[in-house]
Copies of this chain bind each other. A is one copy, B any other.
Amino acid sequence: MRVSLKDVAERAGVSIKTVSNVVNNYPHVTPAMRTRVQRAIDELGYRPNLTARHLRKGRTGIIALAVPELGNPYFAELAGAVIDVAAQHEYTVLLDHTQGSREQEILVSQGFRSRVIDGLILSPLELEPEDLAARTDDAPLVLLGERRYDLPYDHIAIDNIAAARAAVRHLLTLGRRRIAFLGARQDRTVQPAHLRLLGWQAELAEWGVPAEDALVTATGGWDHEDGSVAMAKLLDSGQLPDAVFAYNDLVAIGAMRVMSERGLKVPEDIAVVGFDDITESRYGAVTLTTVAPDKQAIARLAVESVVGRLKSQQNEETPRPSQELQPGFTLVERESTLGRGASNSLPGHGATT
C-alpha cells in the first residue's frame, strides 16, 4: 500500500538515490532521467515520508507555540500571525495550550515533544525562573509576554510599563482622577511581573494623584467573567471610580457589562481602557480604547528568533547573545474614553528592534 523511494526506483529501473535526487531537485540529473523518474513517481503516487526525512536530517521543520488559552482572542490572533510568519520560513506550527498551569508550562519548556519540534515559542504565566533554569532541552526557546526571567533566552514583549503609562496618561488627560486598576494578581507578593500595575502607579505618581489600594482589584484569571466579577466587587466595596484601566480587553469588556447592568454610562460615568486590541473591542455598543501591541511584529520577531538560532545551530556558529526585544504598540482611542463620534489612533512608543 505505502509507496516508498524503493518502489519508485524499481518501477523506474534506477537506484533509490536517483529518485531521491529527483525528489529533492538535485541539479545534476539529466532531463531524460528526470522525466522518467517523475513518471514513475506520478504513476505510483509517491509521497515522501517526512518522518524518515526528519530523522535523517535531524530537524523537523516544526516549531511549537505554547499559549495559555486559545479561547482568549489575543492568543488566537497571535497564533494566527505566528503560523503565517512561520509558513514564510517554511516552518509548521504545533500549537499547545497550557491553561496557565505551571506543570503544563514546565512540561512544554522541558521539551516533552523531544525531537519532534525544532524550537519553541512560549508565552508563560506561572512558570518560575528556576523551572526554566533547570531546562535541559537544547531546542531554541523564545519567551513572550509580560514576565521577565533574566535568563539567556530571547524575550519579546512591548514596553508594558510605558504602554500602561500611556493608557493612564490618556485617562488623566481627559480629567479623570479616580482610575481603578482591574486585574492585579491575587498573590501580589510573589509576582515579579505585572508591569502594567507598576505603570499605573508610576503615571499616577508623576501627576501627583494618589494610587489608592482600594482602587486595585485582583482577579483569578483574565477573561470576561473575571472582569465582571472584579468590577462588581469594586462597586460593591463602595468605590466609584471615574475610570478603569483593565489588564486586558476581556477584563475591560466584562467590566463594562457590569457597569451597563448598573446603569453606569461609559465613558460619561466611567471611562475604560483595555489592553491587547482584540477584534471584539472594535464592535461593542461602546468601542474600547485599548493598548494595541503590534502583533505582527511580535509574531515576526518570535519566529525569526527561533529560526535564526536554528540556523546558527546548524552551521555550528556561536549563537548571538540573548536579547530583550520590544515591538511597538499604539494607544487606540475609541468610544470608551472619547464617547461617540470620535475615534482615532496615536502612534506609540517602543522601537521595533
Contact = CB atoms under 8 A, between A and B. Distances in A.
Interface in A55-70: 55, 60, 62, 69-70
A47 B94 contact: no
B80 A279 contact: no
Contact of A52 (B55, B113, B136): B55
A90 interface: no
A50 B283 contact: no
A216 interface: no
A73 interface: yes
A82 B19 CA distance: 39
Interface SS of chain A: mixed
Nearest to A65: B95
A189 to B, nearest CB: 31
A268 to B, nearest CB: 14
Contact of A71 (B50, B55, B77): B77
Contacts of A137: 47
A79 interface: yes
Interface in A230-260: 253-254, 256-257, 260
A280 B77 CA distance: 15
A39 interface: no
A286 B17 CA distance: 66
Nearest to A94: B94
Contact of A256 (B83, B113, B285): B285
A52 B286 CA distance: 55
Contacts of A286: 285
Contacts of A92: 94, 113
A282 interface: yes
A55 B51 contact: yes
Interface residues of A, number: 50
Given A45-B136, A224-B282, A257-B283, A71 B76 contact: yes
A79 B50 contact: no
Contacts of A54: 51, 116
A337 interface: no
A51 B47 contact: no
A52 B253 CA distance: 48
A309 B48 CA distance: 23
A77 B97 CA distance: 12
A79 B95 contact: yes
A114 B48 contact: yes
The 6 closest A-B pairs by CB, nearest first: A285-B285, A76-B76, A47-B114, A95-B95, A224-B283, A49-B115
19 contacts: A51-B60, A51-B115, A55-B55, A60-B116, A70-B77, A70-B80, A73-B280, A83-B96, A92-B94, A94-B94, A94-B95, A224-B279, A224-B280, A228-B283, A254-B283, A257-B283, A260-B285, A284-B284, A285-B285
Given A69-B80, A70-B76, A80-B97, 8 more contacts: A45-B136, A48-B114, A51-B55, A51-B60, A54-B116, A70-B77, A93-B94, A254-B283
